[in-house]
Structure 1
Amino acid sequence: MPNSHDLKGLIKFLSRDEWRDCFEDVLDDHFGPVLDASNMDFDDLAEMLGDHWAMTLWGCAFEDFLTQDFEVEGGNIVDEYLKRRGWKEGAQAKAYMKALRTSVMSLYEVSDIVPGKSLMARDLIRGGDPVLVSEGTATKTLQQWGRVAARIVPVAGKNIIGGGLLPFTPEASDALFDGLRAIFGKGPSKKLPVPTNEELQQASPIFTLAWLFDSLGRTMRMEQTTFENGDGDAIVFHDVRFPLTSGVTQKEITAQLKTVPALRQENARFWNWLGDIPKGRLKAGKSGNLAWDTTMEDGTRVLGNVELKGRTLHLSTNSAARAEKGTALMQGALNDLVGRPLTEIRTVEQMMAERPVRDKDTAGPELPPEIATKVVHEFLDKQYRETLDQPVGMLGNISPREAIKTAKGREKAAEWLKYLENRSSSQPDPNDPMATYDFRWIWAELGIENLRR
């Protein structure tokens, strides 16, 4: 006997000719615009996003298919299946199928997550109070104030989530609302009215497409992204090693390096090689890729580091151009005090792969977890208390205390706090001090606890 959420019999029934063609049309509604624009087929999605997400996407289309009526015998596959094969299913399985038959995909904000047990879900499209949802698997990965597209259906006195659950980023959420406003918006403002369940059922493919375009876009950007420094040079780490000439001492090297204006000595054997102070904040390389640069407290760029290690002087920098320039700088300052340099080159990927694993036998002492947590939380308390009086981009570049003076500002402040909580709770380790930080004092400080729902 199938379990209460088992749709295998219904899926097998899908192989009948009259339903197969109808389902192909639904699949095209959900994936056609993306696949056509990218010149891909569905199997390519599995390769790019992974089998799990490919099956979840298929599930979203299938659940949408279950709600539709077609001009074939039986009209709806759930009705026809239960009529012909319902005797094979248990009472709860039939109840689940009937619930999916009338279900609606919507976007929910999740909170009060109890891993392995339940969550609260607030409908961001149709409004209303949050509802308690019984959910085992998803609650182990969802984060406070995260957003998901899903079908919440009542079965045996409980609200449960269907199989097609998609986590939405803020960008995907914006794309979804843009799509819904284009369909349902009225007047010049295109304000989104509350759609009826029937209208929202018809818009089901918009959810899949918004998620797909966002996810594929992020995947492709990551594949195409290259790291650059502030000069626009590709990041390739260079360790240029100058052997000290026989008889030359570290003291002699230090004396010569003190004459180089571009070097700032940090200790007896370490110098920062400094560049200029850039105009404005470096956000990206010249071609728009991710910028990777270090600056001093006054904003001066650090082009590299110079360090004496035994009988070798090391110049470390992050591009071929800087390595060449730094090598010329060292040779000009030291002349015959050093020999011919040798250079070791490593890419970003190699550096990440080579990150050392902490050896419990040789590593230095760690702070006890409770002390580390206390230190981090005290730092965050101070940081966020200062932020309450500083401009925040998400609030229109006004401070949170200024924002709460208006009803619209209080709503924005609540969204801002939910964003902070969601980012904080997204740490891989649930015991990380960032993940355990309690933001409730900020809600109370701003007097908007009633919006934390």
Structure 2
Amino acid sequence: MPTSHDLSGLMKFLDRDEWQGCFNEVFDDHFGPVLEACEMEFEDLAGIVSGDWAMTLWGCAFEDFLTQEFDGQPANIVDDYVKRRGWKESAQSRAYMLALRTSVMSLYEVSNVVPGQSLVARDLIRGGEPVTVSEGTATKTLKQWDKIAARIVPVMGKNILAGGVLPFTPQATESLFDGLRTTFGKKKTKKLPALNDDELQAMASLFTLSWLFDTLDRVMRGPLLQNNDGDEIVFHNVRFPLASGVAPQDIASRLNSIPGMLQESEKFWSWMEEVPQGRDKPKTAGATTLDTLMDSGSNVIGNAELKDRFLHLSTNSAARAKSGTDLIRQVLGDLVRTPLTEISTVEQMMAERPGRHTQTPSSSIPSEIAEQTIHEFLDRHYLDTLDQPVAMLGNKTPRQAARTPASRQKAADWLKYLENQTAKQPDPNHPMATYSFEWIWQELGLRDLRR
């Protein structure tokens, strides 16, 4: 028996001669520019973005096709199918097909996610009040303030997501908005044009193309990881052999004299940045930042460990490795011999250590104490940030932006970005993931925009 959202019968109906040519026109609108630019066939996409995403993309084109009207009678495939074969479908399936018939693709901001049950979606293009959506699958992975391109359709008294759901990065979002502004003559302003449903429906292929170009660009370039200094992540293990007759306590005494070198145990030190992170360090657009914060909030730039007559210095970039090596040779002098350096890329580390998770010395601290300590640090950090210029706000401070009617929404978007990135911690119980930004919304007077 067909499920309530089963479109298999409608998809088989697509093979009829009168509809195959029409679908090919829509398919070319969605994929033609990408396939031509990359000199590939649609089947090649499955090997690049994975087969599941290729199916989702095909579904986006198919759902767009279901809304189209063509010359001749019947003009729409849903109308034709329901008339000829609708008796085979359940009432819910027919209702779903007819809802797709008049559906519109748009970009939504997600909030109030209840895993396995529901989410609230706010239309970022057409505006209006947020709507509650009943959803069981996507809500298990979506996070607060994620952006998705989707069709929200009413079926049997509930709003549901259609099958073609695409997660949008900030880069894909800006590409989509640029396309809308260009198409509707708003290139000289950041404001989106006011679009009615018919105009937005005519732009359905732009959502697919924006997602595809952004995804292919990131896949072709490969994932770039960097540390907070803007350096590419490359793991360095510098091994200093201890000189003959040198005792571990001799090394420990010298290491403890180095500013920022914090002794965690008898043979382990965390090398922390002396000065709080600067706000203008170089960053690569689209790169993911990877670094470690200690309980105190200090940024860890390396570790030192005494083991088997060696002093091991571990860092995550070539620049930090050089700086640390120079520092240790200067302080330890003839207590150590010429070091040897081992280098591993992120890919090599993942291949060599499948399923393992690095633990820091602070992992022995009770979780409730670690959470309180990190939350207190974040409170101080963000309280300070509220009075510092932020590039995303046009170099205004968050307080300044929140007081200006023209930039209040930008301040709210900045806060949503912070929340969204924090919510994406791999471990949902990590103190970073459990931190609440509620007080900042209240402090800036932006609670009315938190929706």
- TM-score, length-normalised on structure 1? 0.80
Question: In structure 1, what is the equivalent of residue 109 of structure 2?
Answer: 109
Question: In structure 1, what is the equivalent of residue 214 of structure 2?
Answer: 214
Q: How big is each residue's C-alpha offset from its partner over 1:369-415, in whole Å with a ceiling of 9 and x where there is no partner?
A: 4x333222222222222222222222221222222222112222111
Tell me the CA shift for residue 211 of structure 1.
Answer: 0.9
Distance change (3 Å), C-alpha of 1:136 and 1:340: closer
Q: Tell me if 1:437 matches 2:441.
A: no
Tell me the CA shift for residue 233 of structure 1.
Answer: 9.6
Tell me the CA shift for residue 113 of structure 1.
Answer: 1.6
The amino acid that maps onto 1:422 is N
Distance change (3 Å), C-alpha of 1:94 and 1:272: closer
Distance change (3 Å), C-alpha of 1:141 and 1:72: same
Tell me if the contact between 1:237 and 1:348 (Cα under 8 Å) persists in the aligned partners.
Answer: no
**How is 1:79-98 mapped onto 2 (pairs within 5 angstroms)?**
79-98=79-98
Tell me if the contact between 2:230 and 2:283 (Cα under 8 Å) persists in the aligned partners.
Answer: no
Distance change (3 Å), C-alpha of 1:212 and 1:231: closer
Tell me if the contact between 1:153 and 1:159 (Cα under 8 Å) persists in the aligned partners.
Answer: yes
Tell me if the contact between 2:238 and 2:339 (Cα under 8 Å) persists in the aligned partners.
Answer: no
Q: Tell me if 1:283 matches 2:282.
A: yes
The amino acid that maps onto 1:20 is Q
Distance change (3 Å), C-alpha of 1:393 and 1:104: same
SS in 2 for 1:112: strand
SS in 1 for 2:182: helix
Gaps of 5+ in 2: 293-299
Tell me if the contact between 1:148 and 1:167 (Cα under 8 Å) persists in the aligned partners.
Answer: yes
Query: Identity over the aligned pairs, expressed in percent?
Result: 56
Tell me if the contact between 1:265 and 1:272 (Cα under 8 Å) persists in the aligned partners.
Answer: yes
Distance change (3 Å), C-alpha of 1:272 and 1:263: farther
SS in 2 for 1:407: coil
Question: In structure 2, what is the equivalent of residue 368 of structure 1?
Answer: 367
SS in 1 for 2:222: helix
SS in 2 for 1:142: coil
Tell me if the contact between 2:233 and 2:346 (Cα under 8 Å) persists in the aligned partners.
Answer: no
Q: Tell me if 1:403 matches 2:384.
A: no
Tell me if the contact between 1:185 and 1:192 (Cα under 8 Å) persists in the aligned partners.
Answer: no
Q: Tell me if 1:413 matches 2:420.
A: no
Tell me if the contact between 1:145 and 1:422 (Cα under 8 Å) persists in the aligned partners.
Answer: yes
| C-alpha distance in structure 1 between counterparts of 2:319 and 2:414, whole Å | 41
Tell me if the contact between 1:149 and 1:167 (Cα under 8 Å) persists in the aligned partners.
Answer: yes
Q: Which of 358, 378, 381 is equivalent to 2:379?
A: 381
**How is 1:13-92 mapped onto 2 (pairs within 5 angstroms)?**
13-92=13-92
Tell me if the contact between 1:230 and 1:293 (Cα under 8 Å) persists in the aligned partners.
Answer: no
Distance change (3 Å), C-alpha of 1:62 and 1:228: same
Q: Which moved more, 1:383-392 or 1:153-162?
A: 383-392
Tell me if the contact between 1:175 and 1:210 (Cα under 8 Å) persists in the aligned partners.
Answer: yes
| C-alpha distance in structure 1 between counterparts of 2:442 and 2:157, whole Å | 35
Tell me the CA shift for residue 339 of structure 1.
Answer: 7.6
The amino acid that maps onto 2:152 is I
Tell me the CA shift for residue 445 of structure 1.
Answer: 1.6
Q: Tell me if 1:350 matches 2:348.
A: yes
Distance change (3 Å), C-alpha of 1:437 and 1:74: same
The structure having more radius of gyration, on CA atoms, is 1
The amino acid that maps onto 1:396 is G
Distance change (3 Å), C-alpha of 1:428 and 1:400: same
Question: In structure 1, what is the equivalent of residue 154 of structure 2?
Answer: 154
| C-alpha distance in structure 1 between counterparts of 2:46 and 2:347, whole Å | 24
Give the superposed CA RMSD: 4.4
| C-alpha distance in structure 2 between counterparts of 1:418 and 1:87, whole Å | 47
| C-alpha distance in structure 2 between counterparts of 1:291 and 1:126, whole Å | 33
Gaps of 5+ in 1: 295-301
| C-alpha distance in structure 1 between counterparts of 2:289 and 2:127, whole Å | 41
**How is 1:248-327 mapped onto 2 (pairs within 5 angstroms)?**
248-250=245-247, 283=282, 309-312=307-310, 314=312, 319=318
SS in 1 for 2:407: helix
Question: In structure 2, what is the equivalent of residue 133 of structure 1?
Answer: 133
Q: How big is each residue's C-alpha offset from its partner over 1:422-452, in whole Å with a ceiling of 9 and x where there is no partner?
A: 1222222333322222222222222221111
Question: In structure 1, what is the equivalent of residue 445 of structure 2?
Answer: 447
Question: In structure 2, what is the equivalent of residue 181 of structure 1?
Answer: 181
SS in 2 for 1:159: strand
Tell me the CA shift for residue 367 of structure 1.
Answer: 0.8
Tell me if the contact between 1:244 and 1:313 (Cα under 8 Å) persists in the aligned partners.
Answer: no
Q: How big is each residue's C-alpha offset from its partner over 1:22-68, in whole Å with a ceiling of 9 and x where there is no partner?
A: 21221111111111111222222211111221111111000000011
The amino acid that maps onto 1:447 is G
Tell me if the contact between 2:241 and 2:336 (Cα under 8 Å) persists in the aligned partners.
Answer: yes
Tell me if the contact between 1:108 and 1:121 (Cα under 8 Å) persists in the aligned partners.
Answer: yes
Tell me if the contact between 2:226 and 2:289 (Cα under 8 Å) persists in the aligned partners.
Answer: yes
Q: Which of 419, 424, 427 is equivalent to 2:425?
A: 427
Q: How big is each residue's C-alpha offset from its partner over 1:263-292, in whole Å with a ceiling of 9 and x where there is no partner?
A: 99877989999xxx9x9965369xx99999
- TM-score, length-normalised on structure 2? 0.80
Q: Which moved more, 1:141-150 or 1:345-354?
A: 345-354
| C-alpha distance in structure 1 between counterparts of 2:403 and 2:44, whole Å | 50
| C-alpha distance in structure 2 between counterparts of 1:413 and 1:320, whole Å | 35
| C-alpha distance in structure 2 between counterparts of 1:303 and 1:446, whole Å | 33
Q: How big is each residue's C-alpha offset from its partner over 1:168-200, in whole Å with a ceiling of 9 and x where there is no partner?
A: 111111111100111123585485321121111
Q: Which moved more, 1:67-76 or 1:416-425?
A: 67-76
SS in 2 for 1:52: helix
